[in-house]
Structure 1
Amino acid sequence: MTMSVPERNSGSEEKEEESEDESEIVEESPCGRWQKRKEQVSQGNVPGVESASLAMDTEEGVEVVWNEVFFQDKKVFKTVEDKMKEMFENLTQVDHPNIVKFHKYWLDIRDNHARVVFITEYMSSGSLKQFLKKTKKNHKTMNVKAWKRWCTQILSALSYLHSCDPPIIHGNLTCDTIFIQHNGLIKIGSVWHRLFVNVFPEGGVQGKLNQHRDDKRNLHFFCPEYGSCEDDYAIDIFSFGICALEMAVLEIQANGDSAVSKEAIANAGQSLEDPLMREFTQMCVRHNPCLRPTAHDLLFHRVLFEVHSLKLLAAHCLINNQYMLPENCVEEKTKSFDPNGVMAEIIYGDRSRVQLKYSHVSPLELDKFLEDVKNGIYPLMNFASARPHPVPRALSMSQEQVEAVKTPTPEPQEAETRKVVQMHCNLESNEETTKTHLTLFLKLDDKLHRQLSCDIMPSDSSRDLVNELIHHSFISEEDGDKIVTFLEDALNRHRGSTSAITTI
């Protein structure tokens, strides 16, 4: 006997259909680069944001977050439009490895609505809060080295924000707005929180502006003076102190659904066995904001500060000067070394000498270490200058707005902001004329490659060539001096060589 069973979709097929439905594209940015999907995401409490959806960056091929702020009244929108543009332009200039990247924004005004759309980096690995919960659930304790590394990264980001001109106060630093990636890199999200609260009018937008204060679970992250005085770095330091405490004890216990009490915070602090960790967190949560240290000062606290090893200093030097080195230079160099070769030797008077050989260093571990340094896991904040980071105040139209403006005159080009991380050039002399043909190869920090060619005369200077590259937005103004030095060195070598072709 043969039995027939009615066909039905398996659970995996249903999930696949659901996944396909969520990945459906529902909207595109005016320039076509960003594609919004149905899937909703949570990236920490952001005031005023009505919805946050997953989106695709079609140029880079990575997932991003599509955020929307809807205005209830277009007249209200018009009154704050200039302030919004200034705020968003400033946010696009914030660039730090431990801060969630703010990519782009545009304004959308129609008959039935007015809104702001902005694109931010997507943190797929989850928040620090989620990580701490999982760690506690598995009955594990926090590793002290990891705690120190996380504190250093968070303070590095806060020090950067507070040293901007004008300073940027986060104002919503909790374990929900700090994200951890699979490689241990920490990133702070929602850095635009206080800016939004200060610019967006209360009642003028559909989303809640103070939703972070409505969550009792997070009230203990906010200092006593929050909201009653002018914004100051001290409010971020208090929040950081609570985050550092939660990272150490995994969770500060609350009584049921009520907010975490002062007693619970004090008990959590006293439970720390390391007296330096205890002193460190207590300094941050002092009741008097004037007595709280700055982020930069905290980086020098005894619990965090260590004299950097020569290895770390050399790694930063290598990363900062990558443009001078050929691609895969570390891999090629390590291949050429004799494993039994001695790279260093320590000589003692009363005992035998110690030799350090190349075989003691793993090329894979070295590559991983350099990648971590490049990603910002080991910042050198102790050597940072006290000079404030300028946040440009000048307003410029976003690319979407520029494309929407129809004008018969040539449109101004957007200034290049990406950094050159690697470069080399070919110089070829023409025997019949005095011209030299220059081919310049550039690799930018987003892995974009540029190849530029031109004929240069003996009277042309490196500075003139670089000024022309900056004018046409091929390179950023910040890279000007180093490319001038690079080209001058290349031209001097070429003119001094007998060969007709020189490669640098």
Structure 2
Amino acid sequence: MVNLNPNPFDKDDEPFVEVDPTGRYGRYQDLLGAGAMKKVYRAFDQEEGIEIAWNQVKLRCFADNESMLDRIFAEVRLLRSLKNDNIISFYNWWTEEKGNTLNFITEVCTSGSLREYRKKHRHVSVKALKKWSRQILKGLEYLHTHEPCIIHRDLNCANVFMNGNTGQVKIGDLGLAAIVGKSHAAHSILGTPEFMAPELYEEEYTEMVDIYSFGLCLLEMVTLELPYMECDSIAKIYRKVTSGVRPLAMEKVKDLHVKAFIDKCLGKPRARPSASELLQDPFFDGLDDDQ
């Protein structure tokens, strides 16, 4: 039975702030994360008895852009169809006219983002970093070989999530994902500046922008600092990225094999290996096959 009306006399009862139209999902007040267009709350699936993430997108941001609204809903429908161990599962979605919001339910990872997890656990072996990296690449391989091809476009350590008790890594926050046809080409400038490939700024790019971002994710995992921290403005980041200047953090990578692997990911678009090719790289030799 769905608990829509918690007992006001029960101090241990955690009331829902909001429930979905079916009464299955209940949202709590706790905010897990927030972006320009989206807020993510802790929530509960009463049918399965599991914690979930309740995502809310304010549709009024696109009130005058019908094509963008159509695209958002098309992408939501597609994301619901994705099934991969290294991609956050998408369970359900609906709109709420009163607040003009799009709501969708996804799985929640127990240990938060990879960025938070890495900061919390500062002493991690190269082997563990390789295991996490391989799982990110498996998720990217799934997206890039999907029909149609999906480009994440905003891959960074804040959008990769951890289940710390199992070491499982999942790519999330596909809100900026681009679905592209056989040309594999996209044209919008979107993303997190520190992690954006140079060709993204030229508005003509392919899924290889995700490989570039992945390389910088690995750099952050190794050095515990954001790439291009030496820049104090987006304009300075742009100038360095578009002129091919590597982040200063690269100088802190002492393991030459790790450094060479990152460098491979940051090469010119046509020189970058695909996710499938990187998964076959000797860099991952000797790892167990479980993850």
| TM bracket (short chain) | 0.7 to 0.9
1:187 aligns with 2:166: no
Q: Tell me the amino acid that sits aligned with residue 83 of structure 2.
A: D
1:89 aligns with 2:69: no
Give the CA deviation at 1:168. 0.8
Aligned to 1:289: 269
SS at match of 1:232: coil
Aligned to 1:56: 44
Give the CA deviation at 1:169. 0.6
Mark the runs of 5 or more structure 1 residues left unpaired by the alignment: 1-19, 197-208, 214-218, 313-372, 379-504
Q: Structure 1 80/179 Cα, relative in aligned 2: closer, same or farther at 3 Å? A: closer
1:1-400 correspondence runs (5 A): 23-42=14-33, 48-49=37-38, 51-72=39-60, 76=64, 82-110=70-98, 113-136=99-122, 140=123, 142-182=124-164, 183-195=166-178, 213=192, 219-252=193-226, 254-255=229-230, 258=233, 265-286=246-267, 288-306=268-286, 373=290, 378=291
Contact 2:199 2:205 (C-alpha < 8 Å) held by counterparts: no
SS at match of 2:17: strand
Mark the runs of 5 or more structure 2 residues left unpaired by the alignment: 1-10, 180-188
Give the CA deviation at 1:176. 0.9
Tell me the number of residue pairs that the alignment of Structure 1 and Structure 2 aligns.
264
Give the CA deviation at 1:230. 3.4
Q: Structure 1 265/27 Cα, relative in aligned 2: closer, same or farther at 3 Å? A: same
Contact 1:33 1:59 (C-alpha < 8 Å) held by counterparts: yes
Give the CA deviation at 1:47. 5.5
Give the CA deviation at 1:70. 2.1
Contact 2:264 2:272 (C-alpha < 8 Å) held by counterparts: yes
Q: Deviations over 1:312-359 (max 9, x none)?
A: 5xxxxxxxxxxxxxxxxxxxxxxxxxxxxxxxxxxxxxxxxxxxxxxx
- RMSD of equivalent CA atoms: 3.1
Give the CA deviation at 1:187. 1.1
SS at match of 1:72: helix
Q: Tell me the amino acid that sits aligned with residue 37 of structure 2.
A: G
Q: Structure 1 270/301 Cα, relative in aligned 2: closer, same or farther at 3 Å? A: farther
Q: Tell me the amino acid that sits aligned with residue 254 of structure 2.
A: E
Contact 2:59 2:101 (C-alpha < 8 Å) held by counterparts: yes
Contact 2:153 2:178 (C-alpha < 8 Å) held by counterparts: no
Aligned to 2:4: none
Q: Structure 1 78/237 Cα, relative in aligned 2: closer, same or farther at 3 Å? A: closer
Q: Structure 1 77/105 Cα, relative in aligned 2: closer, same or farther at 3 Å? A: farther
Q: Distance in 1 between matches of 2:203 and 2:102?
A: 29
TM, length-normalised to structure 2: 0.79
Aligned to 2:185: none
Q: Distance in 2 between matches of 1:68 and 1:38?
A: 13
Q: Distance in 1 between matches of 2:67 and 2:130?
A: 45
TM, length-normalised to structure 1: 0.47
Contact 1:135 1:250 (C-alpha < 8 Å) held by counterparts: no
Give the CA deviation at 1:226. 1.6
